């Protein structure tokens, strides 16, 4: 089956509250819905979440690169020519979420055309993942209250705490309040979004040594090679590379250079094809991974759980699958559900999701 058309549709859904972290703040999910049309009338879908303060992409740039560069190169290929697609898109540097969304929409179209779930095509290891929830910048009491609500309402017991503020005592205090409020049985780990200097990060980790943190992610700038290497050597808490390891070559550099010893995989950044490359590299090097979140909506979250559940290594840990709860609405006909701290892969062909045409018409920005 050949690809006959590729659409990039801007849409915006407000957040219930601003999401704040060291690298920026978002008040609305200004994303791009990508639809890949097959010649038999089937359509594969995915979403691209712009993160200008991380990858330099905007809603406008994603639409432009898909419409003007990727679509002319990909229309006419069959859904099985994914390596050709990847090679043609890789001629253009950067633009990771645009490339990822096109890739995942093609996989969705492939699954629909074969009447097979994409999770089965990718590996079919399990049908669910445990869920981790991100707690962002707020007064300590509000952070604790949010985590308690997520635990009591959804059964979530793993929390990623955003850090990177100055003075570091702000985040040390927040993590201590979360540990005291939630007790010893809840998993806590931290993500600095590159907000601290290595010396600040080392001081913070030392001050939190008694809190049983399981991971520390991107506490320092991605280009501070020696500082990141020094920091990783200072702590027994595994260092997760996220924004610094967006491609297999960067993963190799971070791991072999001693700047990290775990990798965050984000389907919003590397699609299904690129994420498998990163995962298999990590497995070959004996490196653990965690399924990250690009502040995805429900379309992107569905893709994350599809990939994470498909593989043993990615399903070992709780995946960051709950950020869509901060959005006031979404595009799916049937909202995703978190029950007992887990999310299941949707049954059905492709990624198992359907776009509500009325909601898309309401939230799209080009109509």
User: pLDDT tens digits for 89-135?
Assistant: 999 999 999 999 999 999 999 999 999 999 999 999 999 999 999 99
pLDDT for the residue numbered 50: 94
Active site residue 185: no
Active site residue 266: yes
The pLDDT of residue 333 is above 70: yes
State mean pLDDT over 16-30. 78
Active site residue 337: no
Active site residue 294: yes
- Catalytic annotation, pick one of 57, 162, 243, 326: 162
Q: Beta 319-320 vs 187-191: how paired, if at all?
A: unpaired
pLDDT for the residue numbered 223: 87
- Catalytic annotation, pick one of 59, 146, 266, 296: 266
Active site residue 224: no
What's the CA gap between 216 and 240, in Å, rounded?
Answer: 6
Cβ atoms 195, 171 nearer than 8 A = no
The pLDDT of residue 23 is above 80: no
- Catalytic annotation, pick one of 171, 217, 218, 320: 217
Active site residue 223: no
Reported as a pLDDT band with limits 50, 70 and 90, residue 27 is confident
Whether the model pTM is above 0.85: yes
Which residues are within 8 A (CB) of 189 and not within 5 positions of it... i.e. 6 or more apart? 158, 159, 160, 161, 213, 214, 215, 216, 217, 240
What's the CA gap between 295 and 18, in Å, rounded?
Answer: 12
The pLDDT of residue 307 is above 70: yes
pLDDT for the residue numbered 22: 61
Tens of pLDDT, residue by residue over 58-95, are: 999 999 999 999 999 999 999 999 999 999 999 999 99
What's the CA gap between 55 and 265, in Å, rounded?
Answer: 15
- Catalytic annotation, pick one of 59, 276, 294, 342: 294
Tens of pLDDT, residue by residue over 205-257, are: 999 999 999 999 999 998 898 999 999 999 999 999 999 998 999 999 999 99
């Amino acid at each position: 089956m050949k690809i006959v058309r590729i659409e990039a549709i801007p849409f915006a859904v407000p957040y219930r509250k601003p999401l704040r972290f060291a690298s920026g703040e978002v008040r609305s999910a200004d994303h791009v819905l990508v639809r890949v049309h097959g010649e038999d009338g089937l359509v594969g879908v995915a979403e691209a979440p712009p993160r200008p303060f991380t990858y330099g992409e905007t809603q406008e740039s994603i639409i432009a690169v898909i419409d003007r560069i990727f679509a002319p190169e990909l229309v006419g290929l069959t859904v099985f020519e994914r390596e050709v697609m990847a090679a043609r898109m890789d001629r253009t540097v950067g633009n990771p979420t645009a490339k990822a969304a096109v890739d995942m929409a093609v996989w969705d179209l492939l699954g629909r055309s074969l009447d097979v779930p994409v999770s089965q095509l990718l590996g079919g290891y399990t049908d669910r993942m445990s869920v981790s929830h991100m707690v962002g910048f707020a007064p300590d009491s509000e952070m604790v209250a949010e985590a308690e609500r997520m635990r009591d309402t959804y059964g979530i017991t793993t929390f990623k705490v955003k850090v990177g503020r100055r003075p570091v005592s702000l985040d040390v205090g927040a993590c201590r309040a979360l540990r005291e409020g939630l007790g010893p049985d809840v998993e806590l780990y931290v993500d600095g979004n590159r907000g601290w200097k290595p010396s600040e990060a080392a001081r913070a980790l030392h001050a939190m040594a008694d809190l049983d943190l399981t991971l520390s992610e991107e506490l320092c700038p991605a280009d501070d090679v020696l500082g990141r290497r020094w920091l990783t050597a200072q702590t027994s808490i595994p260092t997760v590379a996220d924004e610094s390891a967006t491609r297999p070559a960067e993963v190799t550099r971070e791991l072999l250079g001693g700047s990290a010893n775990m990798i965050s995989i984000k389907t919003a950044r590397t699609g299904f094809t690129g994420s498998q490359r990163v995962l298999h590299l990590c497995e070959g090097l004996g490196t653990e991974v965690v399924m990250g979140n690009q502040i995805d909506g429900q379309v992107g979250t569905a893709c994350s759980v599809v990939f994470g559940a498909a593989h043993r290594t990615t399903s070992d840990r709780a995946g960051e699958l709950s950020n869509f709860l901060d959005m006031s609405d979404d595009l799916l006909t049937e909202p995703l559900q978190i029950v007992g701290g887990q999310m299941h892969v949707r049954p059905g062909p492709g990624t198992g999701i359907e776009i509500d045409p009325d909601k898309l018409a309401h939230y799209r920005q080009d109509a």
